[in-house]
Chain A
Amino acid sequence: MLNAVPAASPAPPLLSVQGLDVTYETGAQGFWGRPRAFKALEDISFDLRPGETLGLVGESGSGKTTTGRAVLRRIKASAGKIVFQGKDITNVSGEQLRKLRRNMQLVFQDPYASLNPRMRVIDIVAEPLLVHGLIRHVDEARDRITELLRVVGLPADAHDRFPHAFSGGQRQRIGIARALALQPEFIVADEPVSALDVSVRAQVVNLMQDLQKELGLSYLFIAHDLSVVRHISHRVAILYAGRMVEVAERDELYDHPIHPYTEALLSAVPVPDPRTQRQRKRIVYGGEIPDLVNPPPGCRFSTRCPLATAQCKQEAPKLTERSPGHLVACWNR
């Protein structure tokens, strides 16, 4: 079964993130204000095993994209450690960083904005090869690209056409072909199917699963759609306002959520089945996601949590293991 193997495998992690913080500067607040820094991510830790998909879920602004970009070393970590294939890559630079980047690729959300409309498909897919100096001219890679286009299910004559000649799902396939060109082991897919219609979304999800099986890829799959994440992930991590609140094996997380936020989030997702949906109990918490520039002290969910106690408002809970592989950050659950 496609989703069974890696979870239990004892192989060392491909990627290990330990206590990651990322800090952004905001614009000045008010005329006399000085620019301020705020922590978009605080104390993020997780492992990704070879051949595994970790679903990273959270609402808008929770820090999903920031996590993906930090792991790919596109933005700086202000604290913590990123270990890839056993090597600390938190501070590598220059030639080492370039080499590293060959092995980690990004697939973007927007299949329209992320492809240069003036480049032919073959140039788009070959670009990483050129940038990394693996070929000097596109023609050297023609066969390889034909093969890549076949692998991602694009028509053989796609080569010389421009992105506008393709549908959304096909453009996302072009983006995936480009990400695969360097034969990476690790791909950060940042909302790769969010912009696609359901019927096409399924095609791309299936493609990503097939490629994983064939090529042994590992994915950090970023999404806010919890239903899609359930289908593609082996394990799932939940972010809330820049902190990780829960991480577990997929079914464990969906069937036995522990954190009050995870519970509310799962209950809010509507199920396409009127009988079931009308009977589902929604846990609706009032209030808003806190402002990261002035976050509440202690647990960031404490402003909305019905279980919040005095301790929650003072001290941030750390992730602790509740059953093998199931980690939760909450004082009262």
Chain B
Amino acid sequence: MSVSAISSSAPLLEVDNLKVEFDTRRGLVQGLRGVTLSIGRGETLGVVGESGSGKSVTAQAVMGLIDMPGRIASGDIRWKGRSLFGRDGERYAQDIRGKEVAMVFQDPMTSLNPVLKIGTQIGEVLERHLGMTRAQARNRAEELLAAVGISAPRRRLDQHPHEFSGGMRQRVMIAMAIACEPQLLIADEPTTALDVTIQAQILELLAQLQETLGLSVILITHDLGVVAGLCHRVAVMYAGQIIETGLAEDVFERPAHPYTQGLLRSTPRLDEVSDRLVSIEGTPPNLVVPPEGCSFQQRCPLSGEACRKAPRLEHIRPDAEAACWKPSVPAWATPLMSPSMPS
């Protein structure tokens, strides 16, 4: 079956009830506990959540990077409707990873080879995946550096990573990721190590590439502001699960899950002055022995009897899903029906 035969309205990537475990000295860590998400063509999905919630493991699973001591315990990942698991799937996965789906990591220094010139590193990708000659690859590498906004790209090809600043290295990583013209780019905290003015430059670049190349982007971050600026949809993770997802505007303005509400309220805003932050008491649960029922129970102001059973991600509005027995619209949210409320 040819891949292009699949209807273009089908999601590009589907992750279906994915469970990932890590066999550690502390015990079996349930890194992902049933993650389901999908992303369509040209769409930008933001994945947010605190440290350890499973953002990176989700990306690693898609890229086939779950290694010992981790393993995929159950679930499925489909690319254009076809599974990446099973014997057939693995061959298929090899064909698409790095080409149709590419990834950018948080720390560019650990993913670039310090002793190789930048031009050589980008060239290798092009020669390997696209079968270009060395000369072709060099020309294309120069174009790619120009495309990610690096000035004097020809001269830069012959420099080593340490001669680049942090922001420029991240641009190089993005150039390498888009070298094979992927349809989906997964960026795992691409700006976390960067200063805010440099972060703004990189986000601008991602937005521009997304538009000109029609890229789909999964942007992993813990910065809600970054999501607000760039993403169509957002998925909020907590303790190895997605607990709320929907259109970005919707989730930010009418969060239904108590955790999302807490997260938004405890995030200080540059454009607002309040002399006291609202905090979520307590800390996330241990994933070796995750709590029975709702994983947010211990910290949730609304928790009750019903919450001892695990809630599933369910539609609360046509475009929004939440995993909570008592989804609510908080008092401070923008009312659904009002046309425009000054805030």
Partners in one complex: yes
A interface list, Cβ under 8 A from B: 1-3, 59-60, 167-170, 197-203, 205-206, 209, 224, 226-228, 230-231, 250-251, 254, 264-278, 282, 284-286, 288-289
Contact A271 B204 (CB under 8 A): no
Q: CB of B283 within 8 A of chain A?
A: yes
Contact B281 A203 (CB under 8 A): yes
Q: State which residues 154-198 of B face A: CB under 8 Å.
A: 165, 167, 195-198
Contact A231 B268 (CB under 8 A): yes
Contact A270 B228 (CB under 8 A): yes
> B122-152 toward A: CB 8 Å interface, digit per residue (1/0)?
0000000000000000000000000000000
Q: How far is the CA of A264 from the CA of B262 in the complex (A)?
A: 30
Report the minimum CB–CB distance from B239 to chain A (whole Å).
12
Report the minimum CB–CB distance from B61 to chain A (whole Å).
22
Q: How far is the CA of A64 from the CA of B197 in the complex (A)?
A: 17
User: What residue of chain B has the Cβ atom nearest to residue A196's Cβ?
Assistant: B51
Q: State which residues 198-230 of B face A: CB under 8 Å.
A: 198-201, 203-204, 222-229
Q: How far is the CA of A198 from the CA of B51 in the complex (A)?
A: 10
The interface size of chain B toward A, counting residues with CB under 8 Å, comes to: 44
Q: Which residues of B contact A206 (CB under 8 A)?
A: 276-277, 279
Contact A271 B271 (CB under 8 A): yes
Q: How far is the CA of A1 from the CA of B275 in the complex (A)?
A: 8
Q: Known contacts A199-B50, A284-B204, A285-B197; decide if A271 and B225 are in contact (CB<8 Å).
A: yes
Q: How far is the CA of A209 from the CA of B268 in the complex (A)?
A: 14
Report the minimum CB–CB distance from A293 to chain B (whole Å).
15
Contact B200 A202 (CB under 8 A): no
Q: Which residues of B contact A273 (CB under 8 A)?
A: 228, 252-253, 269, 271
Contact A271 B270 (CB under 8 A): yes
Q: How far is the CA of A266 from the CA of B270 in the complex (A)?
A: 8
Main secondary structure of the interface of A (DSSP, over half): helix
Contact B195 A271 (CB under 8 A): no
Report the minimum CB–CB distance from B233 to chain A (whole Å).
11
Contact A198 B50 (CB under 8 A): yes
Q: CB of B266 within 8 A of chain A?
A: yes
- In the complex, 6 of the A-B residue pairs with CB atoms within 8 angstroms, ordered by the A residue number, are A59-B196, A167-B283, A198-B50, A202-B268, A272-B224, A274-B229
Q: Which residues of B contact A250 (CB under 8 A)?
A: 273
Report the minimum CB–CB distance from A224 to chain B (whole Å).
7
Contact A272 B269 (CB under 8 A): yes
Q: State which residues 56-91 of B face A: CB under 8 Å.
A: none
Q: CB of B23 within 8 A of chain A?
A: no
Contact B275 A288 (CB under 8 A): no
Contact B276 A230 (CB under 8 A): no
User: What residue of chain A has the Cβ atom nearest to residue B232's Cβ?
Assistant: A274
Q: State which residues 219-261 of B face A: CB under 8 Å.
A: 222-229, 248-249, 252-253
User: What residue of chain B has the Cβ atom nearest to residue A203's Cβ?
Assistant: B279
Q: CB of B263 within 8 A of chain A?
A: yes
Q: Which residues of A contact B281 (CB under 8 A)?
A: 203
Q: Known contacts A59-B197, A198-B267, A272-B264; decide if A231 and B225 are in contact (CB<8 Å).
A: no
